[in-house]
Amino acid sequence: MPLTPRSKPEDEETFLRRVRPSDWNNPTPQKTYDLAIVGAGPAGLAAAEHAARHGFRVALIEHNRLGGNSLNVGSVPSKAIISTARVYGTMQDAEAFGAPIPSEPALDFCQVMARMRRIRTRISEYFSAYNLNALGIDIFFGNARFESVDTLLAGDTRLHFKKALIATGARPEPSDIPGLERTDYRTSTTIFDMTALPKRLAVIGGGPLGCELAQAFCRLGSHVTIVQNSPKFLPREERDAAEILSRSMARDGVDIRLNTTVVGARREEGVRILKTVNNGVESEIQANEILLSIGRAANVEGLGLEAAGVEFDTEQGIKVDDFLRSTNPDIYAAGDACLALKFTNAAQASARMATQNALMQEQLRWSQSPIPWCTYCDPEIAHIGLQVWEARRQSIPVKTFTIMMHDVDRAIVDGQETGFVKIHIAETSDTILGATIVASRASELINEMAVIMNNGIGMMALAEIVHTYPTQSEAIILAAQAYKREFDKTSHHAESGA
Amino acid sequence: MNNLARLSDEVLTTRLQRAAFSYLIDYANPATGLVADTSRPGSPCSISVVGFALSCLPIAVGNGWISRADAARRASRLLKFFMQSKQSDAPDATGYKGFYYHFLDMETGQRVWQCELSLIDTALLIAGVLVVGVYFDGGGDEIEIRELADSLYRRVDWRWAQNGTEGLSQGWKPECGFLHYGWEGYNEATILYILGLGSPSFPLAPAGYVTWGLTYQWEHLLDRDVLYSGPLFTHLFSHAWIDFRGIRDAFMREKASDYFENTKSAIVIHREYGERNPHGFEAYSRDFWGVTAGEGPAAEECRENGRDRRFYGYMSRGVPYGPDDGTIAPWAMLATLPFATDTALAGTRRLLEKYPQVCSQDRFSSGFNPTLRVGSGGWLSEGWFGLDQGLLVMMIENHRTGLIWEIMRRSRYVRDGLKRAGFEGGWL
């Protein structure tokens, strides 16, 4: 009988011991901290490690678990489930690769969730409470509240600080859909508590998380309906990318309701029902579970920010300048609490930058840091830098060099031909302004663009960089080579004309 | 089986043009003049097809297919219908604020299918109204045509359609107000903006056109520079009325091109895509292309090489990002005649030789998909669509005589609209 790895009880115990030890005693506070950090999500942890490794006295205050949304209920668990869904999706496509479809592709949802928890436990080790403590970081579990411009309470303990960083993250945006509260709906915070695969899942919201989980649960076997109130998914992305995703989800079997508004919700005999309107036409969606995913709201309430002289609003979060400094010059903010880009990598990068600006007399500007982001559907959709419309609004003449993935050998070999690489350049030069990638592993490809852009490499130089063959990143080189051909052609014509 | 492919270029195009025009006569309601969206029984009227039908009247006169008096009578009947039909926010009206519902009952002219008050379809209708308003420049009954055309154009409240924003929505419904859909990226809406900008009564602010232009994407795609738009028809519709050769707005001045040249580039890309045929569709090649809006096989499915092929119904297909299910519009290649004469004819001849069923009674079907095997041939849409027929008549004529382009050059509203959009140079 084959051995099946199952989640052992100790996995969850280990996880909790790392992120919120039950026997933890808050330390006696030091006289003054160089940096007091409120919130131990990706931003807070990155800042704490960065400051501690540079020899600063750091206090880290967390009211819940270390790791924040990303580790506990966000990036890590969702990607673990998406990975399983991809495998399952590939199994269904086995014939396309010359292999038979596995005879028993039935899925054990408990095992899927157990795998997710094992992964989460494993990843939690690096930033465990004990490891952070070993780095010299004083961890205080409890609610944080500013008392003045240079003191805050961690539970009942008063901490004095020279600088502070607010990294309280964000929570799922609430909804005012009538009746939804009574349906016991789920959010990104509670979706991973499910113990059984829902037969029918209704997803409200077509942003990154909504799309990712809609596709993943569909591939795992749920009948998924996704409702988006605007005409396309992923409002931040360009239309072609969003439409490719829409068709991919439809191919998987997701029931797509674009331009549709949920106007009511109720529960009848255990069935959750959403009432929707599309262009004036009403209809209903029945589901066993509802996932609400309409955005994230910064956690700014109850922190005593007024006492600290930190301005904020409930829509935008903490008000910061380009140096990530709040209206109190000794208090900075990072991550979801203040950024429009609510992604783990943006949180970590902004935290490191804020730390350097706060403690190391640097003047690093957030606006000068191209931050890549990705939606982890299949295909993935990733972007860095300016979108075309952003460049055109700034009166920058922009031209896009596009390579379709179906023209890339490795994508053909892999059977992953859906998508494209688009590199946007300032038209009178070879300066790269931004890139959009739709590909099976766009999340990896976009990082090459991040290196290229951060090092100021232009299209001419990029065209000469030798890559391994065959790889999907060849698409980036093909785009640069297309630029070079155009440049050579124009130069030749100019010379001929002369 | 037809023998069209054996005819000379001139005979072939004239025969196809005349047959296409005859659709606009055969499927018109004799009382109202409204023209059916499709040849299928029970089809409602599409107001954009009426716009094409009006525009084709001068062509028919010029070719001697109908008399000028007959054309004037037909134009007058239609303009009177639209002027007298019910304009209100009631769900069963014919129009509102000078705009018209996309689909109308062929007999009563009332809104059907709970459809939207369509901005682009109204623009195509009004473009036809302006054509007859300019063309019929004589005395007698023709005076009334000019007056009606002017009144219909002036009545359209383009500013209302901005809904307090700089841009334009795609439509409005009495049940829910303005649709969320806007105009993003280059497409067929150029004529909509130009007509809106040219209005003497409710002109759009030029900022709206500029704002729309900010969403354009200038791409190097399949080895060619192009102002991208996926479906082929988006590169044709505005050109059916306006001669964009040599006139440029700010965007095209920046790119040292014009919209006519851009359509030529788009055609090259469509042909290149057909040649590369990345999805392995049957027949695709440099001489078999025409991915655009049109009817498709809908819910049909087939499994090939271990994967399900999905097919779509009526939808706007595009190149190279899709959607593409192997369906082409058989009329599309010939409709590019003014831009790429040789390739348009070569492709059309090859299509007629290999798949003569796509053209019955000398009229092209809306959609054809040879990948999906149905009986002995591929899937073929049933009957004919008025839009396809009207566009073909106009494009063949523009290629041959430039008649419609010449008429619209004489419209001061069109000239004003172009100038307010920032166009200059060339004939302007």
Q: What would the pLDDT profile of B298-351 be if each residue is shown by its tens digit?
A: 866 666 666 678 899 999 999 999 999 999 999 999 999 999 999 999 999 999
Selecting from B180, B181, B220 the residue whose C-beta is nearest the C-beta of A399 gives: B220
**Residue A2 pLDDT class (50, 70, 90 cuts):** very low
The pLDDT, as a whole number, for residue B232 is: 98
Beta carbons within 10 angstroms of residue B228's beta carbon: 27
Give, as one character, the DSSP assignment of residue A232.
S
Coil, strand or helix: which one is A145? strand
Contact A406 B279 (CB under 8 A): yes
HSE (CB half, 13 Å, CA atoms) of B185? 17
Which residues, listed in sequence order, are joined to residue B294 by a DSSP beta bridge? B315
A404 touches chain B (CB under 8 A): yes
**CA A477/CA B267 separation, integer angstroms:** 26
Q: Which residue has the tokens 């420049």?
A: B137
A400 touches chain B (CB under 8 A): yes
Cα-based torsion angle of the residue sequence A224, A227, A230, A232 in order, rounded to the nearest 10 degrees: 0
**CA B181/CA B193 separation, integer angstroms:** 16
Beta carbons within 10 angstroms of residue B302's beta carbon: 12
- Chain A positions touching B279 (Cβ under 8 A) are 406
**CA B378/CA B300 separation, integer angstroms:** 12
B3 touches chain A (CB under 8 A): no
Contact B307 A422 (CB under 8 A): no
**Chain A nearest CA to B116, separation (Å):** 9
Amino acid in position A279: N
**Residue A483 pLDDT class (50, 70, 90 cuts):** very high
A240 touches chain B (CB under 8 A): yes
**CA B87/CA A256 separation, integer angstroms:** 35
Coil, strand or helix: which one is A143? coil
Assign 3-class secondary structure to chain B.
CCCHHHCCHHHHHHHHHHHHHHHHHHCECCCCCCEECECCCCCCEEHHHHHHHHHHHHHHHHCCCCCHHHHHHHHHHHHHHHHHCCECCCCCCCEECCEEECEECCCCCCECCCCCEEHHHHHHHHHHHHHHHHHCCCCCHHHHHHHHHHHHHHHCCCCHHHCCCCCCECEEECCCEECCCECCCCCCCHHHHHHHHHCCCCCCCHHHHHHHHCCCCEEEECCEEEECCCCHHHHCHHHHHCCCCCCECHHHHHHCCCHHHHHHHHHHHHHHHHHHCCCCCCCCECCECCCCEECCCCCCEEEECCEEEECCCCEECCCCCCCCCCCECCCHHHHCCCCCHHHHHHHHHHHHHHCHHHEECCEECCCEEEEEEECCEEEECCCCEHHHHHHHHHHHHHHHCCHHHHHHHCCHHHHHHHHHCCCECCCC
pLDDT value at A104 more than 70: no
Beta carbons within 10 angstroms of residue B325's beta carbon: 24
Contact A404 B278 (CB under 8 A): yes
The pLDDT, as a whole number, for residue A4 is: 46
**CA B123/CA B163 separation, integer angstroms:** 17
pLDDT value at A489 more than 50: yes
**CA A203/CA A187 separation, integer angstroms:** 10
Amino acid in position A349: A
Q: Which two tokens stand for residue A66?
A: 């270390």
Selecting from A399, A417, A486 the residue whose C-beta is nearest the C-beta of B278 gives: A417
Report the residue of chain A nearest B227, measured CA to CA.
A399
Report the residue of chain B nearest A230, measured CA to CA.
B180
Contact A402 B220 (CB under 8 A): yes
> What pLDDT, in 10s, does the model give residues A6-32?
556 668 899 999 999 999 999 999 999
pLDDT, averaged across chain A: 94
**CA B75/CA B57 separation, integer angstroms:** 8
Contact A454, A371 (CB under 8 A): no
B321 touches chain A (CB under 8 A): yes
Contact A438, A237 (CB under 8 A): no
A229 touches chain B (CB under 8 A): yes
**CA A467/CA A476 separation, integer angstroms:** 10
B256 touches chain A (CB under 8 A): no
In this prediction, residues B175-180 reach a mean pLDDT of 90
In this prediction, residues A353-370 reach a mean pLDDT of 96
Contact A259, A228 (CB under 8 A): yes
> What pLDDT, in 10s, does the model give residues A273-301?
999 999 889 999 999 999 999 999 999 99
Contact B307 A93 (CB under 8 A): yes
In this prediction, residues B136-141 reach a mean pLDDT of 96
The complex's ipTM works out to: 0.95
pLDDT value at A371 more than 90: yes
Share of chain A above pLDDT 90, in %: 90
> What pLDDT, in 10s, does the model give residues A398-441?
999 999 999 999 999 999 999 999 999 999 899 999 999 999 99
Q: Where is A375: in which H helix or E strand?
A: strand A373-375
B185 touches chain A (CB under 8 A): yes
Interface with B, mutate which of A95, A234, A257, A388 (most B CBs under 10 A): A388
Contacts made by residues B70-78, CB under 8 angstroms, sequence distance 24+: B71/B136, B72/B136, B72/B141, B72/B142, B72/B145, B73/B141, B74/B28, B74/B33, B75/B132, B75/B136, B75/B145, B76/B141, B76/B144, B76/B145, B76/B148, B77/B32, B77/B33, B78/B32, B78/B33, B78/B34, B78/B50, B78/B53, B78/B54
Instruction: Please measure the distance between the N-terminal and C-terminal CA atoms of chain B and give it in whole angstroms.
Output: 47
In terms of DSSP bridges, do strands A420-426 and A432-439 run parallel, antiparallel, or are they unpaired?
antiparallel
Contact A149, A163 (CB under 8 A): no
pLDDT value at B116 more than 60: yes
Q: How far is CA A91 from the centre of its chain?
A: 27
Contact A118, A7 (CB under 8 A): yes
Contact B221 A398 (CB under 8 A): no
Selecting from B174, B217, B222 the residue whose C-beta is nearest the C-beta of A400 gives: B217
**CA B362/CA B360 separation, integer angstroms:** 5
In this prediction, residues B26-53 reach a mean pLDDT of 98
Q: Which two tokens stand for residue A460?
A: 């001419």
- Chain A positions touching B323 (Cβ under 8 A) are 243, 247
DSSP A408-427: SHHHHHHT----EEEEEEET
The pLDDT, as a whole number, for residue B298 is: 84
**Residue B2 pLDDT class (50, 70, 90 cuts):** low
**Chain B nearest CA to A434, separation (Å):** 13
Helix, strand, coil percentages, rounded to 5, for chain A:
40, 25, 40
Q: Which two tokens stand for residue A31?
A: 């006289």
- Chain A positions touching B220 (Cβ under 8 A) are 399-402, 482-483, 486
The pLDDT, as a whole number, for residue A9 is: 60
Coil, strand or helix: which one is A86? helix
The pLDDT, as a whole number, for residue A413 is: 96
Q: Which of A156-160, B167-171, B333-337, B422-426 has the lowest mean pLDDT?
A: B167-171
Identify the sign of the CA torsion A421, A425, A431, A435: negative
Helix B386-400 and helix B9-26, axial crossing angle in degrees, nearest 10: 140
Amino acid in position B50: V
pLDDT, averaged across chain B: 95
pLDDT value at B289 more than 60: yes
Selecting from A230, A417, A482 the residue whose C-beta is nearest the C-beta of B220 gives: A482
**CA A421/CA B219 separation, integer angstroms:** 12
Contact A300, A171 (CB under 8 A): no
In this prediction, residues B108-122 reach a mean pLDDT of 97
> What pLDDT, in 10s, does the model give residues B18-38?
999 999 999 999 999 999 999
The pLDDT, as a whole number, for residue B300 is: 64
**Chain B nearest CA to A379, separation (Å):** 13
